[in-house]
């Protein structure tokens, strides 16, 4: 997986090493971190593009994020695509969760799924929430799921 920073700089380390390095750097400055992981997608013609973000929030001092984009030609129904977004976020959360535990970093998984039943994405809410909570992760959906609905949304081309 290729990851980059918001400014476009490539992250050349494996993502787990890059995240640990970032946590150590921030902790050395005395900064408390919280991490939110989310994925968004857009369908453009034949392609579906996914953007997964790891958002690092510095307590009282902004934040930064790491971004992974990829595209597929696979066709999805809306509910299936929402659950694929969640699965991608969980995959990264699971890969990194031992670091967050080790360094005392709070972590949430954000789903770009609307809590309002009038929206189509709401069809996937129960399954997504069960999946995330069943993995032992904190869960946020729209409108509180800013990592997926704002951050990832901005970087999905």
Q: What's residue 136's pLDDT?
A: 93
Q: What is the DSSP letter of 115?
A: S
pTM of the complete model: 0.93
Neighbours of 17 (CB within 10 A): 12
Q: Check which CATH number belongs to the domain holding 13 and give it.
A: 3.30.420
Q: What are phi and psi of 146, to 5 degrees?
A: -65, -30
Q: List Cβ neighbours of 49 (8 Å cut-off, separation of 6 or more).
A: 41, 42, 69, 70, 71, 156, 157
Q: What's residue 114's pLDDT?
A: 86
What is the residue-averaged pLDDT of the chain?
94
pLDDT tens track for 6-21: 999 999 999 999 999 9
Structural domains of the chain, count: 1
Q: What are phi and psi of 76, to 5 degrees?
A: -130, 145
ω before 143 within 30° of 0 (cis)? yes
Domain assignment of residue 86, given as a range: 3-155
Alpha carbons 57 and 47: distance in angstroms, whole number:
31
Average pLDDT score over residue span 73-79 = 93
pLDDT tens track for 97-120: 999 999 999 999 999 998 888 888
Query: Is the predicted pLDDT of residue 70 greater than 90, yes or no?
Result: yes
Q: What's residue 120's pLDDT?
A: 81
């Amino acid at each position: 997986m290729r990851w980059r920073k918001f400014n476009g700089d490539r992250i050349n380390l494996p993502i787990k090493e890059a995240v640990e390095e970032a946590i150590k750097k921030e902790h050395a400055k005395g900064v408390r971190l919280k991490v939110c992981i989310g994925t968004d997608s857009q369908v453009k013609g034949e392609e579906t593009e996914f953007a997964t973000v790891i958002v690092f929030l510095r307590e009282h001092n902004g934040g930064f994020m790491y971004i992974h984009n990829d595209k597929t030609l696979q066709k999805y129904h809306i509910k299936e695509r929402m659950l694929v977004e969640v699965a991608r976020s969980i995959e990264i959360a699971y890969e990194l969760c031992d670091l967050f535990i080790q360094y005392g970093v709070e972590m949430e998984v954000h789903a770009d799924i609307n809590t309002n039943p009038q929206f189509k994405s709401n069809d996937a809410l129960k399954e997504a929430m069960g999946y995330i909570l069943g993995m032992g992760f904190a869960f946020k959906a729209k409108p509180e799921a800013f990592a997926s609905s704002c951050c990832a949304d901005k970087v999905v081309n």
